[in-house]
Every structure is written in structure tokens, then in C-alpha cells.
Chain A
Amino acid sequence: MAAVTAETRQPDLREAKGWRRTKNRIMTVLMVTSFVVVLIPLGFVLFTVIAKGASVISWSFLTGSPIPPIVAPADVGGMWPAVIGTIEITALATVMAVPLGILGAVYLNEYGGKNWLAGLIGFMSDVMTGVPSIVMGLFIFSIWVLHFGFSGLAGAFALGCLMLPIVIRSSYEMLRLVPNSLREGSYALGSTKARVTATVVLPAAIGGIVSGALLAVARAAGETAPLLFTILVVTTPNYNVFSGANTSLPSQIFANANQPYPGAQDRGWGAALTLVAICFILMIVARIVTARFARYSR
């Protein structure tokens, strides 16, 4: 305890025995275990999807058409209508949501500043990321489908509503990182605010913005609930995204998941592997863009 007078023996500086050290070790083990616990289901899912889907996937599966009835075995027909549906609808949603999202972020960071409206919009945008995707589907159903029918466009609206707040948040974070000295340099040359934003700020942040947008696209491509009541389901490809019902990979997986027929289940796994591959590729591209962007901005 207190060393009031000099200790005549050398102090023992070795590790304290007993409960404290054990408790510290246990807690460290628990913390690492929680990470391992997370790896197990992740590995399990990916392994199953790859194992079961790989045998189903083939060129004819991806490009074949139409989608056969559920009782048919896996090698009949293909998923082309779903593949093209996913591509069309997600692309349309991206084209609508990403520019609007970037502009929204521009308002928040460049124009809004600290005023109450910008604060409210920023806050509610974050809140909006928590709105369930099925509610977006119900919303578009109420406001659009009831009047104009099912279509890829309706699905794109629903996905767009989902993507908008995500793009706003990630773009805003990127715009904030652009140093003010860049803006001031441009103003000093007599630029208007719009010009400064468009020619200096946005290009400086573009890498991060693209990366954030790609992640939003990956999220949208995998969504099922917003499409349930907006695009219906078809078995032949619909190349007109603006009219007529459509289908998508997630919709097909959902339809097949509950079926007892092995053919349907196999198709489900094949579509699942395709979808997971698309999402992963988008995510990897997003990370690459981030890494390249980081290098430029040094």
C-alpha cells in the first residue's frame, strides 16, 4: 500500500494475480467472440447461396425466357425477365434519385448553412432512411398505381424514395469535406455560387458521391417490398419500363421461396446468387472508387 518510507525490498511489479486480470481477459475474449459470432451466419448464408446457386446458374439461366411455371424443373426457361426488370427499374430509380439527392445535399451544405429549414431537412432526411421500404411501396401504390396502374415506373418511384435520403446523407458528408479554400479561390475569380458549386465543389467531391450513390443502388437493387404492389409479377420480359407490369430478381426470389417444388427453389437460389453477385460487385466498385478518390485528394 502506501510507501511512506523507502521499501527495503524491491517492489514486486509483476502482473496482478486474480480476478482483475482474469476479468480483463474474459472481456477481451467476449469482445472478439462477438465478432466471430457475426461471421458465422454471414459465412453460412454466402456459402449456401453460392453452393446451391452455382449449380443452377448458367448462360441460359440468365438469358433464358420466359420464367417457367413453378412446377417446372430448373433447366427450363430462365430468369431473363427478372434480370432485365431489375436492371431497368433500378436504373430508372437511380436516374431520378441520385441527381435529386446530390442537389439536396448541395442545398444543405452550400446554401442552407445553419438556418432552421436546412436543419429540419437534414434531420428529417436521416429519419427518412428509417422508414420501412414496404411503406414506400404502399405510398406509391396509393398515389400512383391506383391511378395509373402497375409499371416499372411505379416501382422506380418507390425505389427512388428509398434511395433519396441515402444519397442526400452520403453526398452531404462528402461535400462537407471539401475545404473552403477551394470555394474561396473560385469566388475570388468572380464566380457565382452555382458556378463554384458545379465547377469546383462537385468535382472535388465526386469520388465520394459516386461511391455513396453506388451503395444506394446496391441497396435498391436488392429490395423486394417496394416492388410488391407497384410492379406486380410477370413471366415474360417487359422492355417498356414505363407501362405494364414487370418483375425483378428479388420479386422472383420472394415468389419462389415458399414453393415446395424443387425446380422453383432452385430457380430461387440461382436468382439469389445473381442478386448477391450484383450487390457485391456494386459494393466492391464503390470501395475502389473511394480508394482512388482518396488518392486524388491527398
Chain B
Amino acid sequence: MSTITKVDPAVPAGSTHPLEQRRPLGDRVFAIVALGSGLLVLVILVLIAVTTSQQAASWFSAEGLKIFTNTWNPAANQFGALAFIYGTAITSVIALIMAVPVSVGIALMLTEVVPYRWSRPIVYVVDLLAVVPSVVWGLWGILVFAPWLNHIYAHIGSAVTGIPVVGSLFGPPTSGASFMTAGIILAFMITPIVTSLSREVIATVPAIDKEGAYALGATRWEMITGAVLPHSQGGIVGAVLLGLGRAMGETIAVALVIGSSAVITPHLFAPGYNMAAVIANQFGEASGTFRAALMGIGVLLFVFTIIINVLARGIVERNARLKRGA
């Protein structure tokens, strides 16, 4: 270590030799333990990547690039995972389309419309959505919500049969379990986190910017589009990405309501599958290459979510730094 030129308050006075810190043993042990705990995060992340990839190795070597094809047939030893990647993408997109406007709307409502006193209880209520465990969303989803949605799907389906694009997206359903149902439940589940992060970002808009808009005779909505949204767009993008990451990784609720059918189809009311759900449903009975394939899908999921979370946190942090400097 470098010689001490600045006085570190934690070093007891009277140290004769700079290199001989003479910190009591307990102090040094504590510091090492603290550092170790912090490093544990990095260690675990690396271990996850390494061990799961090892287990999935036989799949990667057996299929090579064919893992990205749509031939999933365990009985015939074929494990192309495209259908699941598709399913994860579709359900996440549905969830985002529904959750983002609602979450940003709530965040704006909390910062601009609601008097401060009411904002805390409202935040508590929104956070309640996050307290409901995933498996309870799934139980309610498959036993109550999906059958109810099925009626709605049937109405919509019969109303749009024949119409070119819309008809193939929203045709008649088989049962309530489908891409759409999974997407809707995901929307419920990611709303709290997108709302919370959007709110943090929107709250950092300086009052003086808002006053500037009001002083020009703006209505509240005009002030929001003029001063608040331009200021917060970076942070909101970060919040949306975080919501995307959460939607991609949410497993149990999706496993219960998505319908467990590995197909690629634009038909949103059809049963489907996604990466997290197939692992949850099939891992228990899988072995050999099948198991390796599921493990490999887990690796892909890990990689995707890490990338998205790094992007999201990076954007939020950069936005915060820019605004602090401005």
C-alpha cells in the first residue's frame, strides 16, 4: 500500500512506521469480513454463470447454433429453443405496453396532482401489488382470471374473424391460458417497480423549472410536457428497462397461465410458452440432454436479464449524473 500522507482517522495515533499500521486485529478482521461480504456478490454472479453453463454444455455442443431454431421435440432429442425466446419476448412486450403508461401516469399523479399528504398511502397501495407472491398471482390467474378472460377473448375473437391483421392477432381462444393472459398478469406484477423508479426520477425535476413553465401561463399538463418529461425521459427509459428485465424473469405466475404449448404464432389468445415457464414446468422430469437444454435456456435468460439490467442501471445513473451537473 502507499505511504500514508493523509491522516486516516481509523488509524490509532502513535504509529511509528507508516507501513506498520498496527491496527488492532479485530479491526482488520472486521474490514476483511466486510470486504468479503461485498465481494460475495461478484463471486456469486460469476459462479452462476460458470456452473450453469457447465451443466448446459452438452446442449450447446449437441445443438450448436440450432438452439435458436424452432424445433423443440424432446422425444426426438431435438432442442431448438426459439419458441421460448419468442414467448418471453411477446409476453414482456405485452406487459410493457400495458404497464408503462399506467406506471408513468401514477408517478406523474403522485408528484404533480396529489397533495403530499396523500402520496404516501397511495404508494403503499401500489406497493401491495408487489407483496402478492408470484405463485398467488398464478393460482388466481389460472383458476379465476383466465376463465374470465376466456369469455372476453371469445367475444373479441368472434368479432374480428376475417379481418386481416387484427384477426390473426386476436382470433378465438382455446382456453384462457395464453400469451395475452400471461402478459396481463406480468403487467400487474411489474407496475410497482416501474412506478417507483419513475417517481424517483420525476421527483428530481427542480421546482424552478416547473415554475418557469407555469409563469408562461401553462396548464399543468403543459407544464408536465414542457418541463417534467423532457427532464425525466432518460430515467423513465431506465425504469422501463428494469420493468422489462423483471417481466422476462418472472416465472411461476407465467408458468401457470401461459398454456404450456411451445409454438410460435402471432395469435395472442393462443396458449404458448416462454423461457422461464418451460424450465419451471419441465425441469423436474428432465434428464440428460433435455435437462441440459433447460439449463441452457436458463443460461440464456441469465445473460439477457444481466444485459438489460446493466443497461437500465447505467442509463438511470448517467441520467442522474447529468442532471446533478446541469
Q: Which residues of A contact B140 (CB under 8 A)?
A: 44-45, 48-49, 272
Report the stretch among B73-81, B160-168, B245-253 that lies at the interface.
B245-253
Could you tell me which residues of chain B, from 204 to 246, have a CB within 8 Å of some CB in chain A? 219-222, 224, 242, 245-246
Q: Is the CB of A121 within 8 A of B41?
A: yes
Chain B residues bordering chain A, tally (CB within 8 A): 89
A292 on the interface (CB 8 Å rule)? Answer: no
In the complex, the answer to whether A193 meets B47 with C-beta atoms within 8 Å is no
Inter-chain CA distance A131–B63, complex, in Å, is: 26
Instruction: Contact check, B305 vs A132: say whether CB atoms are below 8 A apart.
Output: yes
In contact, B105 and A280 (Cβ under 8 angstroms): no
In the complex the two chains form, is A135's CB within 8 Å of B52's CB? yes
Q: Contact check: which of A44, A164, A256 meets B40 at CB < 8 Å?
A: A164
CA distance A47 to B6 in the complex (A): 62
Is B23 at the interface (CB under 8 A from chain A)?
yes
With contacts A38-B102, A134-B276, A143-B47 taken as known, whether A272 is within 8 angstroms of B139 at the C-beta atoms is: yes
Cβ distance B235 to chain A, nearest Cβ, rounded Å: 14
Contact A272 B136 (CB under 8 A): yes
Q: Is B9 part of the binding interface, using a Cβ–Cβ cutoff of 8 Å?
A: yes
What residue in chain A is nearest B303 (Cβ atoms)?
A135
Q: Is A1 an interface residue (CB 8 A)?
A: no
Contact B41 A104 (CB under 8 A): yes
Q: Is A116 positioned at the interface, with any CB of B under 8 Å from its CB?
A: no
Main secondary structure of the interface of B (DSSP, over half): helix
> Which of A161, A164, A190, A193 counts the most chain B CB atoms within 10 A?
A193
Q: Tell whether A59 is near chain B: CB-to-CB under 8 Å.
A: no
Check B242 against A130 for contact (C-beta < 8 Å).
Answer: yes
User: Is A194 an interface residue, CB under 8 A from the partner?
Assistant: yes
B306 contacts which of A103, A120, A127, A161 (Cβ < 8 Å)?
A: A127
Structural contact, A134 and B12, CB atoms closer than 8 A: no
| Contact partners of A112 in chain B: CB under 8 A | 38
Q: Which of B30, B191, B249, B279 has the most CB of A within 10 A?
A: B30
CA distance A104 to B35 in the complex (A): 7
Query: Which residues of B sit under 8 angstroms from A198, Cβ to Cβ?
Result: 30
User: Which of these binds chain B: A2-10, A61-69, A224-232, A235-243?
Assistant: A224-232
A283 to B298, CA, bound (A): 31
- A156 within 8 Å of B by Cβ? no
The CA-CA distance from A48 to B145 in the complex, in Å, is 10
B310 within 8 A of A: yes
User: Residue B19 at the A interface, CB < 8 A?
Assistant: no
A285 at the interface (CB under 8 A from B): no
Question: Are A24 and B221 in contact, with the CB atoms below 8 A?
Answer: yes
User: CA of A254 to CA of B135 in the docked complex: distance in angstroms?
Assistant: 6
The contact of B249 among A134, A218, A280, A283, by CB within 8 Å, is: A134
Contact residues of A: prevailing secondary structure: helix
Contact pattern, A 100-140, Cβ under 8 Å of B = 1, otherwise 0: 11011011101110000110110111111111111110110
Query: B38-74 toward A: CB 8 Å interface, digit per residue (1/0)?
Result: 1111101101100110110000000000000000000
- Interface positions of A from 229 to 280, Cβ below 8 Å from B: 229, 250, 253-254, 256-258, 265, 268-269, 272, 275-276, 279-280
Q: How far is the CA of A68 from the CA of B122 in the complex (A)?
A: 42
**What is the minimal beta-carbon distance from B81 to any residue of chain A, in angstroms?**
15
Question: CA separation between A265 and B137, bound complex, in Å?
Answer: 14
| A69 vs chain B, min Cβ distance (A) | 18
Among residues 192 to 213 in chain A, which have CB atoms less than 8 Å away from a CB atom of chain B?
192-198
Report A-chain residues with C-beta under 8 Å of the C-beta of B298.
134-135, 138
Cα A34 to Cα B187 in complex, Å, equals 13
- The distance in angstroms between the C-alpha atoms of A143 and B295, with both chains bound, is 13
* Residues of A156-196 contacting chain B, CB below 8 A: 161, 164-165, 168, 184, 187, 190, 192-196
Report which A residues bind B (CB closer than 8 A). 20-21, 23-24, 27-28, 30-35, 37-39, 41-42, 44-46, 48-49, 100-101, 103-104, 106-108, 110-112, 117-118, 120-121, 123-136, 138-139, 142-143, 146, 161, 164-165, 168, 184, 187, 190, 192-198, 218, 221-225, 228-229, 250, 253-254, 256-258, 265, 268-269, 272, 275-276, 279-280, 283, 287
Other than the given A118-B38, A129-B309, 8 more pairs (CB < 8 A) read A34-B102, A34-B109, A39-B125, A104-B38, A132-B305, A187-B10, A196-B10, A253-B136
A sample of 14 cross-chain residue pairs with beta-carbon separation below 8 angstroms, ordered by A number, consists of A38-B106, A44-B140, A103-B34, A127-B45, A130-B308, A132-B249, A132-B301, A135-B302, A139-B44, A143-B47, A222-B136, A225-B251, A254-B252, A268-B139
